[in-house]
Structure 1
């Protein structure tokens, strides 16, 4: 065991957060947690993870789950391609491997939605294999520790960091090492204001020695997000039911949205809906909402409206009946408290 991993694991054993996926080495559960933790903080993931594995406790359960139920379990986590890929992979594991999770890198990396990091995390944590798993936390720790001043978005830098992490990996306890270095990045070696005074490997950290913590890791700035503006409606019919529309495009496929029109003018939006068969009796403004996607921002000017029941569109008595896209879930959740429909 290297000097680095020795100190790191000793620190982790005393300082781990109490996270439910750390109570198991079931590869299916580790996989679920790792996919959920992509783009999402651990504190947010906990209730989703517990509900998911309670509802779908086996790979077979995931493989046969109906789409609406699956998306409802994921509702609010965003990046829905993650859970769709999980189901495709579960189906493949059932067909190819009789429901037994593959335990080699070459097999795992071929599965939908499992990249180098996820494969490494599953193999090291669930199967105790000496395989490197490099996520954003690990990149930050390694680049600061070694004082790497190359852009971490470059493939050459990523490869260098992965090689260094492989060298540091514990032979005897790779499962603890992987969790420890991720934990260090998440709780101590953080993006802003790292807690260097309590870091177990601070004495040999080049960034600390040279006061480069605020500079490293170096990352190119992301492109400005595209903006779209909508007039968005909560439409209630005479039976007290609300109109929803199931999305068919790639961004939010399979989820449900409120009716909306890309426009700045309320009158134009109403006329557009009426041309699709809506018969709107009146509207009142509710507020302006914003939702940020990875490369896109939606601005939504929201109105409540009453409509005739004669339209031929899907309706629900409660928005909780269907998996709503987070962009609109925030609207229905907040406005339910403020408006008597």
Structure 2
């Protein structure tokens, strides 16, 4: 990627961090007191995400590697994983900054079509694991918690939606999604002119991307399920963060309860996908989730606060990493 283009992404990340700091809805003295209250658990939460991002990077790396020797080093994939998520967290609607950045940084190593297909595949896997995690949590709730009519209706709706999403994702993996996605955009106001032009100009490239997506599911099932398994494992390990934070306040919370709290919170927050860092939605989700499990809602608000600060720290780390280790690889001839 050219330094000029990289700097555009970098300045955007810096601008987003400044905006988030200026709009933080808490007195900084009060925030510092809450962080001191967390003690050693707060550094533990920060370090936990070193491992979670490692799982995310491995999931993407095995897609790039394609069962062969990868032309891009793993540390580069790890760096792009952290920086990509940092841009996504800071971007309204999500997936608007991190994915183009990853594609452009990866292209010198593997070529344009391979970089695009691997990023699309990884994003699909990342979103797909969300639905698998929510479906798993519905089943877990049925096993662990008493069921009333209202909760039964909610779980039924969530379960049906997750099953439909899983079905459509599997269809997308079998047939590819790039061309279909652009064709869908051809009917969206404000985007249809660009989408029609893009489809005409890049149809051959999009069809190659779809062929690579379909090949992963059809011919390389080991790679497919290993990548999905790592993403799902990252979701489960992410629940340890909730356990760490709640242990500051109480010792009467099990890990399985933390899985349910994280599942509901992520589902609630993703309904507000249009908000950068899902501001407000994350805290509200934690409060509702803890209250629903007979845990004081104040504990949920505190958990949301600590995770918000953790996200901000990792956004700063990801943006800073954009300026580190940017030596250019070689473009493959067989793109």
Query: TM-score, normalised to structure 1's length?
Result: 0.22
Query: 1 or 2, which has the higher strand percentage?
Result: 1
Which of the two has higher C-alpha Rg? Answer: 1
Q: Which has the higher helix share?
A: 2
